[in-house]
Amino acid sequence: MPAVVVLVAVLALFALGYRYYSTYLTRRVYALDPNYVTPAHRYSDGVDFVPTNKHVLFSHHFISVAGAAPIVGPAVAVFWGWGPALLWVLLGTIFAAGAHDLGALAVSVRHRAKSIGTLAGEVVGRRASVLFLLIIFFLLTLINAVFSVVIANLFVANPSAVLPVLVTIPLAIGVGQYVYRTRTAALLPSLVVLLLIYASIPLGLLLPITLDPLAAAVGLTPKTLWIVLIFGYAFVASRLPVWLLLQPRDYVNQQQMLVALAVILLGVAVGLNTIAAPVVNDVPEGSPPWFPLLFITVACGAISGFHSLVASGTTAKQLDKETDARYVGYMGALGEGTLALCAILACTAGVAATRADWNALYPDYATASGGATGNFVNGVAAFAGNIGIPETVGVIFAAVVVISFASTTMDTGVRLQRYIIQEIAEIARIRPLARNLTLATSVAVVVPLALALIPGDFAFGTLWQLFGTTNQLTAGLALAVIAVWVTKNSRNPLAVLVPLVFLLVMTSWALVVNLVRFATAADPVQAFLLAPLDAVIFVLALWLIVEAALALRRAWAARAERPAAEGAEAGAAEEKSTDTAEAGDR
C-alpha cells in the first residue's frame, strides 16, 4: 500500500476527531466555560501564573510532551505488523489520549492549576496520592534509563552526529542568557541556533567523534562510557536554572520538531514509498504476543500518563481561557499521534523497499527492539532523500532529532525525579534526602544509571515494556481522577471510563504475561530483578483499580442523591470553598 494513502487517511481522521470529538468533550463532558477566570488570571504573578496566547502555549506544551517515546514505541511495535500499531495510534490518540490530555488540563484549571498527584489526593483519596508518587518514581526511572541507552546507541552508530549535538548545549545556553537578560522573544534566536546546528552537520561528517580509544583505556565499551557521560551531563543540567538550558533547548527543539515533521511528511508525499512491512506479521514462535503487549509498547503516541504531568500544574498555570484547553490539550495529543504515525511509516516504508529487506530488519522481537531507533533514523533519511537531501546528511539529521528529543526529556526527567524523591523522603521522614539537593539528585541519577548499564538488549527488550506499563498506570490514575470529577459534576463519564477500563485491563493483562515470562526465564536478571519489579507494578495496578472503583462508587452515590443542576452548583461551591481556604492560608 502507498504510504501517502495511509498518511492522508490518518491525518484526515485526526482532523475529524478534533472537529467533532474534541467539541463533544469540550461541551458535554468537561463543560469548558469561556468566562471562567482561569488560575493564570486569578493568581497572575508574572512568573508561574502567566496568561498565554493559545498558539504559544500549544507550542510549549507540545514540545514538552513530545520526546523520543512516540518514536521508539511504534518503531518496536511494527514488529507485529503495521496494522495493529497504526490502529492503536489512531484510536488511542483520538479517543483515549484526547480525553486524557484535555481532561487533565481541564480538571487542573478547575483546581487552581494543581498537579495530578495533588488532585489524586483531593479528588480520589490520600492513598491515591501515595500511589501516584510510587508510579511516577518507576516511570521516571525507566524513562531516564531507556533514553540514555537511546542516545548512547545513536552516538556509537553515528559518530558524525556527536558534534551537532554538542554544539547545541553552548548555543542553547547563549539563547537562554539572551532571552533572560533582554526579556525578548525566543523565536528569532532559536531559529538562528537551529540553522547553526544544521550547518554543523557537514562539519560533523568531516570530524566524527568517537570514544573508542578512551573507552579501551578505561576498560569500558564505548556504549557504556557514553551512558556514564550522559548521566553526568544530566546531573549537571538538572541542577542548572531552567531558563539557562532546559527552556532554550525547548525553544530550539520546537523548531526542530516542525522541520522534522515537514521533512517526513513531504518526503512521503513526494517519494510515493510503498509500505514493505506486512499488515499483520507472522512472528516467530516464542515471540511476545501483540495482544496485549502492543498497548504498553506504544504508550506515547497513543496515550501517555506523562502528558498529565505536563498538562496539570504546568500548562494549566498559563491557560488564558478555559476553552483554550481544547486547542492546547487535544491538539497536543494529535501532534504526538502524528509523530507516532511518522515513526510507523519510517519503519515500514522508508527503511526498506521490499518485504525481504524489511524481514531482515525485523526477524525477531529482540532484533526489532534493539534496532528500533536505527530503523527510524534510516527511514527518515530515505524520506529526506526523496526531497533531495543526501542520504548521509539525512541520517545525521534524523539522529540529531532523536538525540535532541531524548536529551531534553532526560533533562526534565532527572529534575522531576529529584522532586519525587524529595517528596517521598518527606513522607518517609528521611530529612537528609529530602533537604539535600545534591544527595537527591545523586539518587535520581544512580538508580536509572544502574539499570541502563545492564548488558544486552535490556533497555528495549525489557525495560521498555516496564516503562509502558508504568506509563499506562499513570494515565489510568489521571483518568480515574478525571472520571471522578466528571461524575461528581453530574456529567456523562463514559468518554473517560471506556479508555480507563481498557487501559487497566490491558496493563494488568500485560503485567501478568510479562511476570510469567520473567519468572520462568533462565536469565537471572529477568528472574531476580525484572520479575520482582513487574510484581510490584502489578500490585500498584490492583491498588489503582480498587481506589478508582471506590472513588467512582462514592461519586456516583453522591450524584444520585441530587439533580444535575445541583451537582453543578455543588462543584462550583467546592471550588469556591477551596479558593477561600487557600486565601485564608495565605
> Is 533 a member of any domain?
no
* Cα separation, 288 vs 514, whole angstroms: 9
Q: pLDDT tens digits, residue range 444-458?
A: 999 999 989 987 767
When divided into structural domains, the chain yields a total of 1
* Cα separation, 427 vs 421, whole angstroms: 10
pLDDT the model gives residue 517: 86
> Is 258 a member of any domain?
yes
249's enclosing H/E stretch is: helix 246-271
* Cα separation, 168 vs 235, whole angstroms: 17
What is the DSSP-derived secondary structure letter of residue 274?
B
Instruction: Give the type of residue at 502.
Output: F
Sign for the pseudo-dihedral over CA of 99, 112, 472, 143: positive
Please, what's the b/e burial string for 291-329 (b: 16 or more CB within 10 A of its CB; e: otherwise)?
Answer: ebbbbbbbbbbbbbbbbbbbbbbbbbbbbbbbbbbbbbb
pLDDT the model gives residue 581: 41
To the nearest 10 degrees (0 to 180), the angle between helices 82-91 and 331-345 is 170
pLDDT tier for residue 578 given thresholds of 50, 70 and 90: very low
> Is 29 a member of any domain?
yes
Q: pLDDT tens digits, residue range 132-189?
A: 888 888 888 888 898 899 899 999 999 999 999 999 999 999 988 888 888 887 788 9
Contact 68, 153 (CB under 8 A): no
Please, what's the b/e burial string for 57-87 (b: 16 or more CB within 10 A of its CB; e: otherwise)?
Answer: bbbbbbbbbbbbbbbbbbbbbbbbbbbbbbe
Kindly give, in sequence order, each residue whose CB lies less than 8 Å from that of residue 446, ignoring residues fewer than 6 positions away. Answer: none
> Is 517 a member of any domain?
no
Q: pLDDT tens digits, residue range 522-533?
A: 878 778 888 898
> Is 17 a member of any domain?
yes
Contact 92, 298 (CB under 8 A): yes
> Is 509 a member of any domain?
no
Residue 514's beta-bridge partner residues?
none
Domain extent for 158 = 3-493+549-585
* Cα separation, 229 vs 410, whole angstroms: 13
> Is 58 a member of any domain?
yes
> Is 389 a member of any domain?
yes
Kindly give, in sequence order, each residue whose CB lies less than 8 Å from that of residue 216, ignoring residues fewer than 6 positions away. Answer: none
80's enclosing H/E stretch is: none
pLDDT tier for residue 577 given thresholds of 50, 70 and 90: very low
* Cα separation, 33 vs 262, whole angstroms: 35
